A = this chain, B = another copy of it.
């Protein structure tokens, strides 16, 4: 059989990685697929800059329509990123009957439905393993070998910038702002890091995971998203005292037909493999009703791991084409008609344990006031750390409490009440705890 012909749109860092992988490992790919995978055309506005890879003459083009109009090209890789023109290009390629491979998490998180519907109409596949967890083959596993399970939860450490900063804060007892600077100097954080540190990138990935695991559409804007910028070195230290690490966690859960979707700093127990996911590494942990808990760990970003996932998708499509079949799997694993729209649980209704850090004046009755207010809202205390007296009782001291499971709404109400007390010097910090990790 002749080579599988592919068109690539967007020749940046990741695109260059795909080119290099297809060149360097052409042998191993051919030995597994039985044919070569050829990049016939690569479209980009800039076709002159050196990307460190050699491209045959005539392959690099400015006009993306040459890809859409080439009947030999059966798969289009979209690596532009962002919403437009990525979305229009993907829809155009689908319209022309081409399978899609993309790493564009923002596009899928917000416009996945429209793209999947178009693909269903044309009978083509949409593959996007690289959109979540870089090279970690977690999406393929959810849609594929673990497909027999009803999934109950999916949680993930999926942003290398945040995890690098939190890891350094933990290792060095440092504060957020200092470690952000270090991350920026090392190129692990962007000059404007908002997108990463405020959890937006993680929320994009969570939206995709929730769709795959629970077979539901999800409104991206209704995902509760809280970043790591308010976490202090003190929080990291107290978390450690209680036996936890702080990670930016994406959490998706389902119970009684209601979905939880939230991204926030979360305390994870020490001696769980997740708590040892450090630096720029990512991990995703799922629970299925038959498979139990499963965790995937690896490099969540970077040119080479991302290229591995993209070419992995290409190999899957090539094998299906080689076997003489058209579309083998719907984008979410579930048949298109079986994707539901499940209701989202409001944040006030979620149940969690919490670490509460109060900054209070060291006066008699302080603890009684705090404990009383918590008790009035049905929140019971599991354990507590109160540091020793300061020189003056006018200096605030931290009082740190770990609660039993409580309703988020009750916590919010209790803290609002407590924050108004005269003895409380700063807004109380609260961090949710994910404890039940077998």
Q: How far is the CB of A38 from chain B (nearest CB, A)?
A: 14
The answer to whether B135 touches A291, judged by C-beta atoms less than 8 angstroms apart, is yes
A326 at the interface (CB under 8 A from B): yes
Residue of B140, B147, B298, B327 near A291 (CB, 8 A) is: B298
Residues of B close to A32: CB separation below 8 A? 143, 147, 333-335, 338
A7-24 vs B, CB cutoff 8 Å, 1 = contact: the mask equals 000000000010001001
Docked Cα-Cα span, A320 to B290, in Å, equals 23
Contact present for A290 and B304 (CB under 8 Å): yes
Contact of A148 among B21, B149, B334, B335 (CB under 8 A): B21
Closest to A276 in B: B273
Q: Are A290 and B276 in contact (CB under 8 A)?
A: no
User: Is the beta-carbon distance between A25 and B325 smaller than 8 angstroms?
Assistant: no
- Interface size grouping (class) on chain A: 35 or more
Residues of B within 8 A of A312 (CB): 144-148
Contact of A313 among B145, B294, B304 (CB under 8 A): B145
Complex: A145 Cα to B127 Cα, angstroms: 11
A364 lies within 8 A of chain B by Cβ: no
Whether the Cβ atoms of B145 and A137 lie closer than 8 Å is yes
A129 at the interface (CB under 8 A from B): yes
Assembled-state Cα–Cα distance A117/B295 (Å): 34
B148 close to A140 (CB less than 8 A): no
Interface residues of A in 94-123 (CB under 8 A from B): none
A176 at the interface (CB under 8 A from B): no
Within 8 A of B (CB), among A306-335: 307-309, 311-316, 319-320, 322-329, 333-335
Q: How far is the CA of A137 from the CA of B328 in the complex (A)?
A: 19
CB pair A290 B25 closer than 8 Å: yes
Cβ-based interface call for A31 (8 A): yes
Residue of A21, A146, A334 with most partner-chain B CB within 10 A: A146
B334 touches A31 (CB 8 A): yes
In the complex, whether A396 has a CB less than 8 A from a CB of chain B is: no
Look across to chain B and name the residue whose beta carbon is closest to the beta carbon of A326.
B323
Measured between beta carbons, the chain B residues less than 8 angstroms from A17 are: 290
Q: Which residue of B lies closest to A34 (CB)?
A: B335
Is A215 an interface residue when CB atoms closer than 8 A count as contact?
yes
The yes or no answer to A288 lying at the interface (CB within 8 A) is yes
Q: Which of A21, A296, A333, A334 has the most CB of B within 10 A?
A: A296
A416 within 8 A of B: no
CB distance from A163 to the nearest CB of B (A): 13
Q: Which residues of B contact A294 (CB under 8 A)?
A: 135-137, 296-299
Contacts of A276 in B (CB 8 A): 271-273, 275-276
From known contacts A144-B137, A319-B328, A323-B328, infer whether A295 and B296 are also in contact, taking CB-CB under 8 Å: yes
A273, A275, A304 interface centre (most CB from chain B within 10 Å)? A273
Q: Which residues of B contact A225 (CB under 8 A)?
A: none
6 nearest CB pairs, A to B: A145-B312, A323-B325, A325-B325, A137-B145, A135-B291, A294-B298
Can you list 22 A-B contacts (CB < 8 A)? A25-B150, A31-B334, A32-B335, A135-B291, A141-B141, A144-B316, A145-B309, A147-B315, A148-B315, A271-B278, A273-B273, A273-B283, A290-B307, A290-B308, A294-B299, A295-B296, A295-B298, A320-B323, A323-B326, A324-B324, A324-B325, A325-B325
